[in-house]
Structures are given as structure tokens and as C-alpha cells.
Amino acid sequence: MYYSIVNLEEHSHLINNTKKYLFEKIKEEFGLSYIPEYHYDIVNLEKTYMIPKRNSFYIALNSDNKIIGTLGIRGYDKNFEFFKGKYSQDKTASLWRTYIDKEYKRHKIGSKLVNIAEEFAKDHQYKEIYLHTQKDLIEGYHFWSSLNYIKTIEDNDTIHMEKKLNVLNLAAFKRKQLAKSIKT
């Protein structure tokens, strides 16, 4: 099965198709139409994911260049009371809008999207990644758990999860390498 994953910023001609895809997925998964306080990031894809340098949005395309999956990453910007002081935009990335078409699930597309986002987060010096999934999306929780995301809190219909990143501190690495070379 052929697919490619691209950065939406580099394929901005697909922005409107991506918005349409996202709203179709939200309708399919949750039975919801546009709700401004929940979907502002979709309407403002460019402002939310493409303009800020520490944010990004990825799409998976099949061989016909049809969107078959999505994932957005941005600095943590929620204000959940129970996470007050735990996460920040500086150290915490958050994953959003992770969808894969049903016929393309179980082909590692979601895992590949997440791997790309995790590398992006490391490259941009995030220390951890936050996400949330819905309790009634059992396969979603299992998917995230399989990628080593840990449940932090269950709140009503939502499962909040995180993953600590092993971010290479380049300056510290160079100091260790220099120290090793001096000892030998």
C-alpha cells in the first residue's frame, strides 16, 4: 500500500481539502458539526499550525493524492485546572487532529505520523508531548498506549495522556564527548 506523509506548510494548496477532511472525520467519529470553541484550530490551520515555527501539521496521502490521515502538533495551549503548572508552551508539545481513514488503519500510517511529530518535537526542544483521547474511542487509547503514551488523568469522557521525550541536549553531548577525548 503506497502512501506519503507531507508537511501541510509545503503543500499549502491542500489546506482547504485538509479542512474538509477534518470536518468529515469529526462528523464521522463524534457526530459533530463545527463548534467554534472546539474547532477554531481547523478553521485557522495556517495561524495555528503553519505560521508558528514550533508548530506543524502533517497529512498522509494515498497514491491518488487523496488525504487519508492527519496529525497536528503545537505548543501546549490548554488551561485545564488539573494541569496548572504541569505543562507549558515552552516545554510541552500537544498532538491534535489525529485521524486515519478506516480502510487505511492498521497499516502503520498513524504510527508514522506520530513518529514524525515526535521527531519534530525533539528538534524543537519540547521535553514532553500531551494529548487527549475520548474514552469511547477504545482503539484510540490502545493506539496511544502502544506508542508508550501514559494515561495521566481520566476526566469525564476524556483520557489525558503524555509521553516524556528523550531530547538530546547538544551542548551537554559535546561536553561529554570532549571529556571522553581528553581522558583517552
Considering the entire predicted model, what is its pTM?
Answer: 0.88
Domain residue spans of the chain: 3-183
pLDDT value at residue 59: 98
CATH 3.40.50.880, domain 3-183, yes or no: no
Phi-psi region of 161 (alpha: psi -120 to 50; beta: other; left: phi over 0): beta
Which whole number is the average pLDDT over 75-92?
88
Packing angle, helices 15-30 and 36-43, rounded to 10: 150
User: Which tens digit of pLDDT belongs to each residue from 163-177?
Assistant: 999 866 555 555 555
pLDDT of residue 184: 44
Per-residue pLDDT tens digits for 3-59:
999 999 999 999 999 999 999 999 998 999 999 889 999 999 999 999 999 999 999
